[in-house]
Chains A and B, each alone.
Chain A
Amino acid sequence: MSDAILSVRGLSRRFGGLQAVNAVDLDIPRGKLLALIGPNGAGKSTTVNLLAGVLMPTAGHVVLDGLDLTGQPAHRVADAGLVRTFQNGRLFKRLSVLENVLVGAHARHTTGFASAVLRLPGFRAEEKAMRESALALLDGLGLAADAGRAVGELPYGKQRKIEIARALILQPRVLMLDEPAAGLNSGEVEELIAYVSALRSQGLSILLIEHNMGLVMRLADRIAVLNFGQLIADGEPAVVRNTEAVIEAYLGRKKGSHAAH
């Protein structure tokens, strides 16, 4: 696993007496999709929050392609190329669809404040380029016609796509999708699978946090399994799905194994 674009070592987070994430090691292979799965409360969301700089780890390291991001604030992590989406679709409700995506481009702008309020040529050119790339992303997601609308007017499935566009405009090196299929209907899930596969085949490295095992099995190059904040398995999908600990975590222990408890 020497060619990991994202390496996580000993990542831990304690909330009072609860060890929510305990010494987790993860490697996302370059250009591959790692799925992080586990039952409810296993620590998946906390892990994403730790990686994204939303929460500070109590121990451990996060290294993106040689760059140590541990303890960096969220905007630095995003700017460095580790970008996430949210499980419950957190959009900016007072901005249009296009503007929501453009907020994601904030860190890519290089012209400053004076240039913006004086509308200098550099600002105009940059703003135009960002708009074009935002519109291209929206177009690729079938949202071109909705660019000028308020996000609140759009159905849930479209709102989730806007979030993906907002993350992609940052040109991430690793994209973290937090339960992207939650709340989608089966048609939308199929679209999502096709879109995510296309992203990966363009070389994007992806961390997929997901509940839906069908989706995971179709997309994952590797699967890591969390339970009670600890990594209980990490490997090829076919191997992981037959691991005893994983079956137990998802389906409960077999009757006989209680004796060993």
Chain B
Amino acid sequence: MKLNQGTAMVALLAGFAAAPFLISDYNLRILVLALQSAIAVIGLSLAFGWAGLIQLGQAAFIGVGAYGSAIASMRLGLDFWLAMPLAMALSGLVALLIAVPMLRLRGHYLALATVGFNVTLEIIAKNWQGLTGGTDGISGIPGIRLFGREIETDTGYYFLSLGILAAVVVFAMLLRHSRFGRATIAVRDDEIASGTSGVPVVRTKVVAFVISSALAGLSGALYAHYAHFIAPADFDLWRSISILVMVIVGGEMSIMGAVFGAILLSFAPEWLRFVGDAYLAVFGVAVLLVLIFMPDGIAGRLQAWTRTKESRRV
């Protein structure tokens, strides 16, 4: 098992390192976007998969990060490496303002609030022309400078996004194996027993929601400076749903599952291009099949598979 995992890890890293040199420029751009999405997907996996918060507006927090970072760099002249943490903090702060009143209430108030927030933010972005450029969005967002040079190739952005994603994966794994990770999962499994075991339930949920949103903000900031252009349509409710589907298909608890879910679903529209207008229907059926046959997602399926292999060997 240990050896298998090690081999799998090496193969995975080799695959990621070789990918930009093996695929077309067009697919490379999709892969860069997928890695950036994966950061927001890991965030949502924390809030939704671990803590059980029904968060239906993750794209809004990606949007806060994207607009925040774009505006900070263009209006205040901040470098990406200053604008990005600022954008993360802004997303986290907005999340805190929403979470504190909503999480004190039981039930599905948070779900409604996040949908409402997503729609509201879209309206604001479309109408506050002076700040956001309205439906035209913001163009000419500066690129990212690294070691004194601006990154100019997709390969450069690929490795930058991969590096940041790797840091987020490590962060999530360290968090998972600490009292905060255990408490977050316990809160969803049994809220009452968590409380009587000494876990502050509301605070744990708020922290999970804020971290999830700050990661969405990071994802948005990377996206804005990579694409150089953002518009309200990039952060609509459909984008939120697609992030949620990435979490579920990957396996709602699994960190690496979130990465695979993001990659798979970023490429799905390309692979399904031949079905034309039937895309949404085919996509919907595919997601349903995943939910029926792999309720624990790709990661859950893999885990079950390695476990049966193990037990057969014994």
Contacts and interface: CB of A to CB of B under 8 A. Distances in A.
A93 B189 contact: yes
B183 A106 contact: yes
A5 interface: no
Interface string B174-187: 11001110110110
B192 A90 contact: yes
A54 B180 contact: no
A54 B182 contact: no
Nearest to B173: A117
Contact of B193 (A90, A109, A113, A127): A90
B199 A106 contact: yes
Interface string A98-123: 01001111111100010011010001
A116 B195 contact: no
Nearest to B199: A106
B194 interface: yes
Interface in B186-202: 186, 188-190, 192-201
Contact of A117 (B174, B201, B207): B174
B42 to A, nearest CB: 14
Contacts of A113: 180, 207
A94 B192 contact: no
B249 interface: no
Contacts of B189: 91-95
Interface string B151-191: 00000000000000000000100110011101101101110
Contacts of B186: 92, 95, 103
A166 B197 contact: yes
Nearest to A176: B196
Nearest to B190: A90
B253 interface: yes
A95 B183 CA distance: 10
B195 A73 contact: yes
A106 B195 contact: no
Contacts of A54: 192, 195-196
A157 to B, nearest CB: 19
Nearest to B189: A92
B178 A99 contact: no
B197 A78 contact: yes
Nearest to A90: B193
Contacts of B253: 94
A226 interface: no
7 contacts: A74-B196, A83-B198, A99-B182, A103-B194, A106-B198, A113-B180, A127-B179
Interface of B: 171, 174-175, 178-180, 182-183, 185-186, 188-190, 192-201, 207, 253
Given A73-B195, A103-B182, A105-B179, 20 more contacts: A74-B195, A74-B196, A75-B195, A78-B197, A78-B198, A83-B198, A90-B190, A92-B186, A92-B194, A94-B185, A95-B189, A103-B179, A103-B183, A106-B199, A107-B198, A107-B199, A116-B175, A127-B178, A130-B179, A170-B197
